[in-house]
Amino acid sequence: MKNLVEFKNVYYSFTKAFNVLHNINFCLKVGEKSVIIANNDSGITSFIRILLRDEKVNSGEVLYNNTPIKKISFKKDIFLAYLPSEPVFFDKKSIKFNLHYFLKLHKVQDFYEEDICKYFNIDKNIIVKNLSYFEKVKLAIARFSFRKIQLLIIENIFEKLTEKESLEVQTILNDIIKKNNACVILVIAEKNKFINNLQDFTKYTLKYGTLEKIES
């Protein structure tokens, strides 16, 4: 099966004296799902920023579809969606404004806006700063739900959700993943009880910059 994402002997550091990521080797094949169990001091933020091309590695290679990441277009070569642990919006604007902005950005017709609000059960007239964390997560998902997705990166969103909210978010994400046959990289904290629901995920731990696969 073809590799969608691959890290080959990747090192990343802020200073010469300390590697934030140390000899990272990671492969995600088309159709696969992986979970990285990591805490704040693990280097996971740098790992994600490298995936999003917000940081450059010091040595080693990062490949998308066997092509170096620096040569990849996120508009043409790979369709990536990112769900951060703290989604960013125009907080003082309405849900309608935020959705309209992204629909326009991706050249999608405005009538999708009504369909999205109905599906996610959100009132388009509410100001974003008045939303709960759960509602903000749903809005963040809504922003990419209309797009084609090959790779979905989910960053530790379940820490702040109740069990009921987590189940609803899982259902929504599973629908999107199945519709797109998308690959998934999920990041969760070490003590998250959600780990028990991930039987079909390949599991890794990231501690102090070192990534290790958990053998089943």
Q: Please report whether residue 216 resides in a domain.
A: no
For residue 197, is it within any domain? yes
Are 73 and 5 found together in one domain?
Answer: yes
Per-residue confidence at 36, pLDDT binned at 50, 70, 90? Answer: very high
Shared domain for 1 and 62, answered yes or no, is yes
The verdict on 155 and 60 lying in the same domain is yes
pLDDT at 214 over 70: yes
Is 26 a residue whose pLDDT tops 90? yes
In terms of domains, do 155 and 128 share one?
no
Confidence grade of residue 63 (pLDDT, cut at 50, 70, 90): very high
Does 129 fall in a domain? yes
Residues 143 and 153 in one domain: no
Most confident segment among 58-62, 145-149, 157-161, 199-203: 58-62
Question: Does residue 165 sit within a domain?
Answer: no
CATH number at residue 56: 3.40.50.300
Question: Which of 35-39, 73-77, 92-96, 189-193 shows the lowest per-residue confidence on average (mean pLDDT)?
Answer: 189-193
pLDDT at 212: 93
Q: Is 118 in the same domain as 176?
A: no
Q: Is there a single domain that holds both residue 54 and residue 104?
A: no
Q: Is pLDDT above 70 for 196?
A: no
Rg (CA), the chain: 18
**What total number of domains does the chain contain?**
2
pLDDT score for 191:
64
Same domain, 58 and 141: no
Q: Quote the tokens at residue 182.
A: 């998308």
Between residues 74 and 206, which one has the greater pLDDT? 206
Does the residue 11 lie in any domain? yes
Is residue 215 in some structural domain?
A: no
Is 167 contained in some domain? no
139 lies in the same domain as 48: no
Farthest-apart Cα atoms in the chain, separation? 54
Report pTM: 0.90
Say what the pLDDT of residue 116 is.
Answer: 79
Q: Is residue 166 in some structural domain?
A: no
Query: Do 61 and 96 share a domain, yes or no?
Result: no
**72 in the same domain as 154:** yes
CATH of the domain at 141: 1.10.8
Q: Which domain holds residue 98?
A: 86-147
Q: How far is CA 188 from CA 34, 108, 122, 183, 205, in A?
A: 11, 32, 26, 16, 10
- The pLDDT, as a whole number, for residue 14 is 80
Q: What is the band of 132 on the pLDDT scale with cuts at 50, 70, 90?
A: very high
Instruction: Verify that 100 and 183 share a domain, yes or no.
Output: no
